Every structure is written in structure tokens, then in C-alpha cells.
Amino acid sequence: LPIVVKAFEMEIIPANRIVAQIGETLILTCNATGCASPSFSWRTQMDNPLGGTVNNYITYSTLTMNPVSIVNSHDYLCTVSCGEKGKKEKSIKVELYSFPSDPIIEISPSLVAGEPVTVICKIPDVYPSHRLEVLLKKEEHVLHEKEFYEDESTNTETKTVTYSFNPTAEDIGKDITCVAKLPIPTMGFEPKERVTSQKLNANFGPQNTIISASPGNLSMEGDPLKLTCVTESNPPPQIIWRKHLADESIQHLIENNVLSIPHARFTDSGLYICEVINPVTNITEKATVDIVIQDGPKNTTISVIPATAVKEGETVMMKCTSSGNPAPVISWKKKKATGESEKISEGATLTIQKIKSQDLELYECEAYNQFGKEEKSVKLLVQVPPQNITVLIYPSENVKEGENVTITCSTYSNPPSQMVLKKVHQEKEIILPSVNGTFILYNVTKNDTGRYLLDVFNEVGNNVKVIEIAVVGRLEKPDQMIPVIIAFSCVTAIAVPVVAILIYVFRKAKINGSYSLVKALRLKV
């Protein structure tokens, strides 16, 4: 078989032309075929320094540029010698650029709305800078445009574009954008455009501070309430909540933009203050909101002057108070004996001039608003001293020895009266209580003759009646133990039971009529 001999050939990889970014690593490879022991050499077309490192291998050689710098912008030639086969040479053009990072935006000074601001855009380490184009924009509006066509820089440089303008309050928060372009169509690198944006910031405010209330300024008791303080400020402000109290003092609540009350109470009503402080601008602004918590009447009370127990003829003033929102409407009713209620007055105060016993009733105060009603009642006790006293003596004031004498008393008073019977002109005064308004002398003697004082009294007064008893003659009766029951109380027109006191006095009655009421009761008094 014939021996095939490969022709001597060479190539450079990459071929012909390469675009490299300054600062990166670039490796050129010179490769030989058809030659057993090739030798390699590298040079620039203008015999400038290589600016790299050569490494020779059996069939190829490399030129490494690490990092690529401006000195590597040349046509590089690789020469391969192969003994009798001669030598071959090829070149490659290395083109350089530098566009390594996005622009850097600086906005100075720290802004206050209305004062001039300077925007500086820096494009780091750009090359070739004469191809650089820069745009400064506010949102989509072009503020400034610059091209560097006349720049003669021969190495990488950071290029700067500066622009000043007077921002308005509406500009705060808008994007300032720097667009840098390096449009070299003949060079196949990406990206050819880099963009950086920064918001136009300013120290301002607080301003336009308001308070929003959810669900609203008027809330029902028990419902959640949320107050939010909204303001315009940069940097973010310190927010303090306070509340005006009823005594004109101010209560510090929280330091937060939201004040939450999970279950609103009537006492949460009042004027709330949101105080906003910007520590940089040193400006303070306040907003207020009046919160009203609505509810039906509650805590209804009645006060009576001078007291619930009054003397007949005095003036009584009853005052009804109730909390609720809106403020409850107050009305008064009088409950009749039949159980029916009669409306007698409107307003918080009910005054009764020269009160009478007929005014002894149950009075009701009704507090009402659209969210409900509440009632309270009070009973007046009209105190009346004993009056209209009637005394009945049976059989009469003049009786015979041995007979029984019954004294009955009735009167009108409130509170119920007590009653005692006193016999006067004795060595020692005898006081006899009563039972059920009745006083009984059993088997009287001449010694029971005399004047008796009937004293009827209660807490507000008394009345005294004088009774004359005359005992004559006598009735014959056998020896016996005769109980003398002296009982006294007043049967009044008021259906209130009176504690009865029953006193039993035992004495021996002799046929000769030696009975003495005074002696019999002396030891009992």
C-alpha cells in the first residue's frame, strides 16, 4: 500500500479576528499538522512586546494574556518551521474593549424638596471611551445626554456625567436612570448597553398627615376599632398617639402608626391625636380625630334629695343619670296601685313640692336612645306623724268595781305608730304598752280611778290623749287568780304590722275590792 504523507499545514485558533475585554484572560493557540517536530515563534506585526506568555508543546504553541491589557491591542503572527518542509506564518487581530459594570449613580446633597440637586453618573473602566454615549433620565423623560466622540483616552477610564436641576415635590420617589451605551457594531460583544436606576430621594415632611378610622368615627361598643395615621415624610417619621382625657390632661398611648382597640368601650370615646416627627427635617405635624363609641343606656342611677324617706310637706328632688351614646332621653313614670305606669315628666330631674302621703308611690326613671333603654325605680316613703286619733272606751269612762275596761285606739301615721298608756299622779309613773291598739283592764277597783295619758308616737312626731277613768261600787266575785292583760298598739291606716308587746300581770283580787292597778304593775315597770 502506498504511504500517505500529510502536507505541512498550520492554523491559529481563534482564526483571523478576536474581540477581548480588558481584564479578562485570552489564550491564542498556534497548531501545526504534517510536521513531526515543528518549531514555533510569536511576534506582533510591529514587533511590540507580546504582552503574554508563550508555552510550546509538540504540535502546538499557546500565547496566554492574563489579564488582557491595552498593550495586547495588536495583530499577532505565529511562525511554524518544519525543516525541509519550510515554514508557514499566519496572523490574528486582537481587538480590545472594556465595559465591565453598570453605571454608578450619586445624588447629592441629601435632598430637601425645592432645593437644587446634582446627579452624577459614573461609568467605570470604559474603553474605547470615544464610542461611549450616556443618557440621564427622570422616569422616561431625558434630562441630559452626552457623547464622548472627541475623547482621546488610550486606556480604560471611568467617565463621569453630571447634571443639576431643581426637583419638585412630585419628583420625590421617581427613578433617576443612567443609560450607558458602547455601540461598536463591528465588535461582537455583549452587553453594549448598561443601565442603573436610583429613586430621587429627599428629606421632607411630615406633611398631609391624616387619621383614618375603621370602621368609622362612630362605632358601636364592643366592636373593634382601628386608627391609622397616614403621612408623607422622608425619612420615615416617629409617630406618637395621644388622647385628650376628660380632665384636660393628655394620655400617652403608643408609638406606632396604627392604634388598635379590639373591643371598644364607651370610655374609649374622645379626641385622639397622632403626632408625627421627622428627626432630620425637625418638623412636627399633628392630626386629630374625634371618636364616638355608641351604646344603649347603662349605669342608670337615681339620687333623691334629701332622702327616700321624707316628712309630709317637704320638697323632694329626684335626679336620674345614665350613660350612653347618643345621650339618653330621660323620662319619669309613676306606678299606680293597679300596676299601671303613668308618664308624669320628662327630663333628668323630677321635683315634688310639699309632698303628701298620696305621693307614696313607686317612681320609675326610663333612659332611652336608639340603641336601647334602661329603667330604674325608687320608692318614696312619706313620713306622717300620728293624726286623726280616735279613742273608744268600753263600756264607758265610768264603771263599777269588778268590771273590765277596754280602751281602743286608731290613728293614721307613717311609719306605723307605737302607743303607751301612762297613769299620772302616782308615787311612781306607770307605763303600759299595748297590743293591737287595745288596752284592757280586768276586774277594776277604785284604785284604778284616775287620769291616764295615751301617748301615740312614731319617728316624726307624737300625739297625746287624756283619758279619765272613774271606778264606783263593786261586784262580788270569788277568790281567783285574775290576769290583767294590758296590750297596746295602734291600728293604723298603713297596712304594716306592728310588733305587739303583751304584758301579763297577775294579781289576786279579794272580795273586799282591795285591788290596786298601780301596786300590781309597779314591779313590772
Higher-scoring residue by pLDDT: 111, 136: 136
**Other beta carbons less than 10 A from residue 226's beta carbon:** 14
Q: Is the pLDDT of residue 337 over 60?
A: yes
Residue 98: strand pairing partners: 127
Q: Are residues 315 and 301 in the same domain?
A: yes
**Residue ending a domain, choose from 52, 69, 97:** 97
pLDDT at 314: 85
pLDDT at 427: 66
Give the least confident one: 11-15, 282-286, 470-474, 513-517: 513-517
Q: Are residues 409 and 394 in the same domain?
A: yes
**What average pLDDT is seen over the chain?**
83
In a domain, 525, yes or no: no
Judged by DSSP in three states, 83 sits in helix
**Residue ending a domain, choose from 436, 452, 472:** 472
Higher-scoring residue by pLDDT: 493, 511: 493
Q: Are residues 197 and 242 in the same domain?
A: no
pLDDT at 113: 54
pLDDT digits (tens, 9 = 90+) for 271-291: 999 999 998 888 999 999 999
In a domain, 500, yes or no: no
pTM: 0.43
In a domain, 503, yes or no: no
Q: Are residues 116 and 86 in the same domain?
A: no
State how many domains the chain has: 5
Q: Is the pLDDT of residue 487 over 80?
A: no
In a domain, 506, yes or no: no
Q: Are residues 230 and 269 in the same domain?
A: yes
Q: Are residues 361 and 427 in the same domain?
A: no
pLDDT at 112: 58
Find the domain containing 254 and state its range.
209-294
Q: Give the CATH number for residue 45.
A: 2.60.40.10
Q: Are residues 264 and 289 in the same domain?
A: yes
Q: What percent of the chain stands above pLDDT 70?
A: 87
For residues 94 and 73, the answer to whether their CB atoms sit within 8 Å is yes
Q: Are residues 124 and 156 in the same domain?
A: yes
pLDDT digits (tens, 9 = 90+) for 44-62: 988 888 999 999 999 999 9
**Residue ending a domain, choose from 71, 97, 123:** 97
In a domain, 491, yes or no: no
Higher-scoring residue by pLDDT: 361, 22: 22
Q: Are residues 442 and 370 in the same domain?
A: no
In a domain, 516, yes or no: no
Cis peptide leading into 306, omega within 30 of 0?
A: yes
Q: Are residues 365 and 440 in the same domain?
A: no
The residues, any chain, with a CB within 8 Å of residue 205's CB and separated by 6 or more, are 231, 232, 233, 234, 237, 276, 278, 281, 283, 285
Using CA atoms, how far apart are residues 318 and 441, in angstroms rounded to an integer?
Answer: 49
Query: Average pLDDT in the 344-360 region?
Result: 84
pLDDT digits (tens, 9 = 90+) for 476-485: 544 433 333 3
Query: Average pLDDT in the 132-152 region?
Result: 92
In a domain, 504, yes or no: no
pLDDT at 521: 35
User: In this structure, is the dihedral angle defined by the CA atoms of residues 329, 330, 336 and 342, taken in order, positive or negative?
Assistant: negative
In a domain, 440, yes or no: yes
Q: Is the pLDDT of residue 185 over 90?
A: no
Q: Cell 284604778 sits at which residue?
A: 448
DSSP type of residue 98:
B
Q: Are residues 191 and 116 in the same domain?
A: yes
Q: Are residues 240 and 225 in the same domain?
A: yes
pLDDT digits (tens, 9 = 90+) for 231-255: 988 788 999 999 988 777 788 888 8
Q: Give whole-number Cα distances, 130 to 135, 146, 177, 412, in Å.
A: 15, 11, 21, 125
**Which of 343, 383, 334 lies closest to 362, judged by CA?**
334
